Chains A and B, each alone.
Chain A
Amino acid sequence: MRKSRIIAGLGLTAAALLALTACNSGSPTGSPTGDATGEGEAEETWFTVAEDVTLEGSPTFDAITERGTVKIGVKEDQPGLGYLDPTTGERTGFDIDVARWIAASLGYDEDQIEYTAIPSANREQAIVNGDVDYYVGTYSINDKRKEQIAFAGPYFITGQGLLVAADNEDIAGPEDLAGKNVCSATGSTSIQRIKDEYPEATTTEFAGYSECVEQLKNGQVDAVTTDESILIGYAAQDPDNLKVVGDVFSEERYGVGLAKDDAALQEYINTMFTDGGDIWQAIFDKNLGPAGVEGEQPDVDPVM
């Protein structure tokens, strides 16, 4: 009696595993983020992995050398900027490519990179704790954050925008938010700005923007606010239901988050940005150009 039950259980497990092998193992067809299979090879012609890199006086660099791998903090739910396809495990996006570029200039190629997805609220924590060596993920530079960490860059400038349902005619800009429910991520500069400058709007906070977009689609919130580049990525994925409205009403400068005491690495990355205009343009055109984002490479801030 027990033996036949064990055999039945094993049989069921075997059947389930067989069924799994019949599943798809490729990426979904028609994915709006574009299959990067062909362009993966093209990337390698933009930047090559540097050899024999030495960087004096950078504790982060010493840690990387000792470990042999680079730990990079990224976002994984922002199409076009920092996106992880759950079906293929591929990471794509502007920020991801910039992160790869930095790693290559430090002498580490794709196989030596460890990505960790960290939501907005935990970014400073992760850098201070040493969980990541640097963070590239729509990380706006502001003074409050500079109290805990340092920034290299900026490498991109955008502004805060609004995402609404495609059939929403009421909201054309942040002035129309009075009495409306606006969603953003906990700990983001976007939500703080709404609370400070447009207090008549009600705010909802979740851990990530993708949840906000979901709530927008099912009608729980009226608008999602964050950097326009992120919103355009979401709108591009679902143009029938979402649209970006209004002009940007702030200036967001994206930087690479680093440990506070690491001026050497900051200087190194800034030099890399300043000298690598072509690479920047190529990365930009591949990731953000098709979605209609406009931009040009900004000048880096001086190292403090």
Chain B
Amino acid sequence: MNQLTEYPGVWAQALLGTLILFFAGGAIALVLGIIVGAMRVSPIPVARAVGAVYVNWIRNTPLTLVMFFFAFCVPLLMPGRADWLVLAIWALGIYTATYVAETIRSGINTVPVGQAEAARALGLTFGQVMTLVVMPQAARSVIPPMMSVFIALLKNTTVAAGFSVVNLGNIRAEMSENGENQLVTILWVMAAFVLMVFLLAWLQRMLENKWRIAR
């Protein structure tokens, strides 16, 4: 029970690793996901096709395989040395971007077309249409599923444990090398995740209740 106090450095490092993977991977996922999402709803057929291929391909591949590719195959292909953490972040980002793209696409499609047409009829520019009319309405349908995607991302950071990235997933190995009780370690890790996920889920529920409308 006193593992946390005996090895504060190790636990802090593991938690930091998880958080770095989460935030950095999330940032890449958001940027890439918005780009791909925009591509998928664009009027350019080529962009739609490319987006569809990318999303359907990565969505049907396990995250473990994507990370395996990044950890083992990318160093083979690229000259120079890459940090394991960076490779894992890219893997997580590229994988999660597909779900972000899909969420954005379905969210935007929930806004009635009439809203956008009316806004355009008023003479608003593209930027104004987006910020004043479409995004506020889309946010209602985009943000809660997006929180689910990020909760999934937080849980997926543990997969990096198999690829030599220090995070909460492989602290068990570290602890067992020091002779500590592995069951206790794992229970603490579970508690940490439950805490973090509940935090995000509470945030999600709060946002949802704020935007709940009668239908």
Interface status of A214 (Cβ within 8 A of chain B): yes
Interface status of B193 (Cβ within 8 A of chain A): no
Residues of A within 8 A of B170 (CB): 186, 205
> A220 with B81: in contact, given A144-B179, A207-B162, A211-B72 (CB under 8 Å)?
yes
Residues of A within 8 A of B84 (CB): 204
Closest beta carbon of chain A to B79's beta carbon, Å: 8
Residues of A within 8 A of B173 (CB): 121, 186-187, 205
Q: Tell me if B81 and A219 are in contact (CB < 8 A).
A: yes
How many A-B contacts at CB < 8 Å in the complex? 32
- Report whether over half of chain A's contact residues are helix, strand or loop; otherwise say mixed: mixed
Q: Tell me if A215 and B179 are in contact (CB < 8 A).
A: no
Size class of the B contact interface (CB-based, 8 Å): 10 to 19
Q: Tell me if A205 and B164 are in contact (CB < 8 A).
A: yes
Measured between alpha carbons, how far is A182 from B168 in the docked complex, in Å? Answer: 22
Q: Tell me if B76 and A218 are in contact (CB < 8 A).
A: yes
Interface status of A46 (Cβ within 8 A of chain B): no
Nearest residue, chain A, Cβ from B72: A214
Residues of B within 8 A of A214 (CB): 72
Q: Tell me if A206 and B177 are in contact (CB < 8 A).
A: no
Nearest residue, chain B, Cβ from A147: B179
Measured between alpha carbons, how far is A191 from B116 in the docked complex, in Å? Answer: 61
Interface status of A192 (Cβ within 8 A of chain B): yes
- In the complex, 14 of the A-B residue pairs with CB atoms within 8 angstroms, ordered by the A residue number, are A121-B173, A191-B177, A192-B177, A205-B173, A206-B163, A206-B164, A207-B162, A214-B72, A215-B72, A215-B75, A218-B75, A218-B76, A219-B75, A220-B81
- Interface residue ranges, A against B (CB under 8 Å): 121, 144, 181, 186-187, 191-192, 204-207, 211, 214-215, 218-220
